[in-house]
Amino acid sequence: MDITETIAHQHEQQRRMFGQLEEWPRGDQEGLAAMWTRLAILLEIHADAEERYFYPELLKLGTGGADAESVDEEVEDAVKDHNELRGAIRKVSRCRTGSPAWWTAVTDANVYNSNHMAEEERQDLADFRQQATLELRHEIAIAFLRHEALHAATGIPPKDKNPERYVATRRKATKSALATRAAAKRSSSTRRPATKTSSKAAAESD
């Protein structure tokens, strides 16, 4: 498994589901509501999993893919896109299923999501493929898919995040973790194991 392939695969799934929704019989409100609920759950758990497992690792290794100015800008844009998509999803929930307002909100969600996926595929995924090892990409995919599976039935309440604060918080956490590891390494290097000679001298002194 590879997190970049996992995300790209789910993007295609989202595109197909929006397409299915657009072709659904307009008079079948029950079917439209069920199809939309399934899609809305998928969109949110996908976004939440990216924010939990993929973007933090991208911030550690990324350099800014394609037309992105930097990896920070890359991730900030992605989180902002998620917020816009969540806003459109909330708007759908306030409209009567199948009404013109409902379809307008669904179309807005599709537009926001399509723009986000295209940019993420061009920047974020390409950037991560170039920097991350296959082992890391596999490990992230496991955590990502496990999180989604745990919430696939009921979904996750959508929660907007401040893009700049999101990046800054994870930058701070990374620096703290690196400092802790460096301190542990220095401490370990200063502790010398007892040599055979010193052990023998200690035994004779006893």
Model pTM? 0.83
Is 112 exposed, middle or buried (CB count within 10 Å of its CB: 0-12, 13-18, 19+)?
A: buried
Structurally, how many domains does the chain consist of?
Answer: 1
Q: Is the pLDDT of residue 199 over 50?
A: no
Evaluate whether residue 41 is within a structural domain: yes
**pLDDT confidence tier of residue 67, bands split at 50, 70 and 90:** confident
Closest CA to 52 of 161, 128, 125: 161
pLDDT in the model for residue 180? 60
Evaluate whether residue 201 is within a structural domain: no
Of 18-22, 35-39, 188-192, the range with the lowest mean pLDDT is: 188-192
Evaluate whether residue 204 is within a structural domain: no
Q: Is the pLDDT of residue 41 over 90?
A: yes
Q: Is the pLDDT of residue 193 over 90?
A: no
C-alpha–C-alpha distance, residues 114 and 157, integer Å = 22
Could you tell me the two tokens for 116? 């986000």
Evaluate whether residue 206 is within a structural domain: no
Evaluate whether residue 173 is within a structural domain: no
What's the pLDDT tens digit per position in 75-129?
999 999 999 999 999 999 999 999 999 999 999 999 999 999 999 999 999 999 9
Evaluate whether residue 195 is within a structural domain: no
Query: Reduced to 3 DSSP states, what percent helix, strand and coil does the chain have, rounded to the nearest 5?
Result: 80, 0, 20
Domain enclosing residue 65, as ranges: 3-161
What's the pLDDT tens digit per position in 134-183?
999 999 999 999 999 999 999 999 999 999 999 999 888 877 666 565 55
